[in-house]
């Protein structure tokens, strides 16, 4: 019984110390999604939006949609704000992925950027969560 009490006491004492040590080892970036800073008449350019994200203390920012990728990537590089993630469309009814995607992904090599595809079926060939579209999505 005394041994169990000692084990419990040591566990309770050491857990906060171990948790604190692990918290220092893993640090996820605190980043903003693009829709969190757009849509304003003042912060209406990539330069202003990236500057705002930096001033608010974010570690990085999402690029939302491939159409805005070149302007935001250039501005984020210029201001030193990492591209944390890229949100882009994969349409199962299109014969191939967007032709810009390989080049954009190459420009992010070794950056730790998260790729966030959202998968759709624009012609309604596949219903949402239809497993018949899974093999098409995986081949892309």
For the segment 62-103, what is each residue's pLDDT rounded down to a tens digit? 999 899 999 999 999 999 999 999 999 999 999 999 999 999
At 24, is the pLDDT very low, low, confident or very high (cuts 50, 70, 90)? low
Residue 59 to residue 63: CA distance in whole angstroms:
14
pLDDT at position 27 is 79
pTM: 0.75
**With b meaning 16 or more CB within 10 Å and e meaning fewer, what string describes 84-97?**
bbbbbeebbeeeee
Would you list the DSSP string of the chain? -HHHHHHHHHHHHHHHHHHHHHHHH-----EE-GGGT-S-SSS-SHHHHHHHHHHTT-SEEEEESGGGHHHHHHHHHHHT--EEEEEEEEETTSSS--TTHHHHHHHTTTS-PEEEEEEE-TT-SS-TT-GGGHHHHHH-
CA torsion, ordered 83, 56, 72, 98, to nearest 10 deg: 50
Which of these, 49, 54, 51, 28, lies nearest to 114 by C-alpha position? 28
pLDDT at position 13 is 61
Is 5's pLDDT higher than 70? no
């Amino acid at each position: 019984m005394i041994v169990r009490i000692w084990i419990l006491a040591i566990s309770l004492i050491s857990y906060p110390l171990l948790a604190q040590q692990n918290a220092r080892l893993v640090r996820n970036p605190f980043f903003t999604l693009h829709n969190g800073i757009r849509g304003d008449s003042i912060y209406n350019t990539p330069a202003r939006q990236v500057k705002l994200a930096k001033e608010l203390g974010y570690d990085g920012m999402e690029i939302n949609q491939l159409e805005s990728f070149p302007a935001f990537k250039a501005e984020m590089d210029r201001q030193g704000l990492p591209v944390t993630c890229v949100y882009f469309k994969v349409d199962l009814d299109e014969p191939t992925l967007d032709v810009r995607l390989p080049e954009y992904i190459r420009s992010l090599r070794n950056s730790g950027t998260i790729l966030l595809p959202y998968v759709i079926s624009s012609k309604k060939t596949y219903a949402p969560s239809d497993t018949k579209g899974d093999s098409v999505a995986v081949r892309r």
